[in-house]
Amino acid sequence: MTPVLLIFFVLAGLAVLGAVSLVLQKHPIHSALSLIVVMVCLAGLYLLMGAEFVAAVQIIVYGGAIMVLFIFVIMLLNAGEEERTDFSKIAKFAGLPLALALTAAIAAAVVKPDQSLHPVTEPVIAKATEQISTMLFKEFVYPFELTSFLILVAIIGALVLAQREKK
């Protein structure tokens, strides 16, 4: 087993453990912390694949901004442990098998045995960050501008939603 493969399995195992913990934890803040573990592990996997820019953005935006927003809201609302309510009978017995079937179906669809994908080696794409920036500002410049508009709309929407009604 090569060191790279070993690092992959450690990070992948941690990510899956974090995701399982997200499902099993009762308190939302524990779920949020598990999700942070998953995101950091995914950033490590991006680094392993040689996508440094995406790894950095993953840490800064997901681990930094979005999760802080989540934890801020959990603390602001003082969210306690979640109340269990009764599942329907179908959900109780068919829920987990159906979830497994979904995972298997996705995995089977994306992993075809005769695929001509060559294994991920580190620098398949030389100077990935440079290429990303060039593509972002040339080929994808209109979608890029649209995302800035989307962010603006989201900011206004969040402000309108969160303000208190004046009487």
Partner 1 sequence: MVPTQYYLILSAILFGLGAVAFVFKRNIITIFMSIELMLNAVNLAFVAFSQAFGKVHGQVFVLFVIVVAAAEAAVGLGIIILIQRNRQSLNVEKVNLLKL
Hey, which residues between 37 and 76 contact partner 1 (CB under 8 A)?
38-39, 42, 45-46, 48-51, 53-54, 57-58, 61-62, 65-66, 69-70, 73-74, 76
Q: Which is nearer to partner 1, 93 or 135 (CB)?
A: 135
The residue within the footprint of partner 1, chosen from 88, 111, 114, 142 (CB under 8 A), is 111
Environment class of 156 (CB within 10 Å of its CB; exposed 0-12, middle 13-18, buried 19+): exposed
- Return the residue of 89, 153, 166, 167 that touches partner 1, per CB under 8 A: 153
Please compute Rg for the chain using Cα positions: 21
114 lies in the site for partner 1, by CB under 8 A = no
Minimal CA–CA distance to 72: which of 162, 146, 154, 6? 162
Chain mean position to CA 159: 25
- Does position 145 bind partner 1 by CB under 8 A? no
Q: Which two tokens stand for residue 156?
A: 């206004």
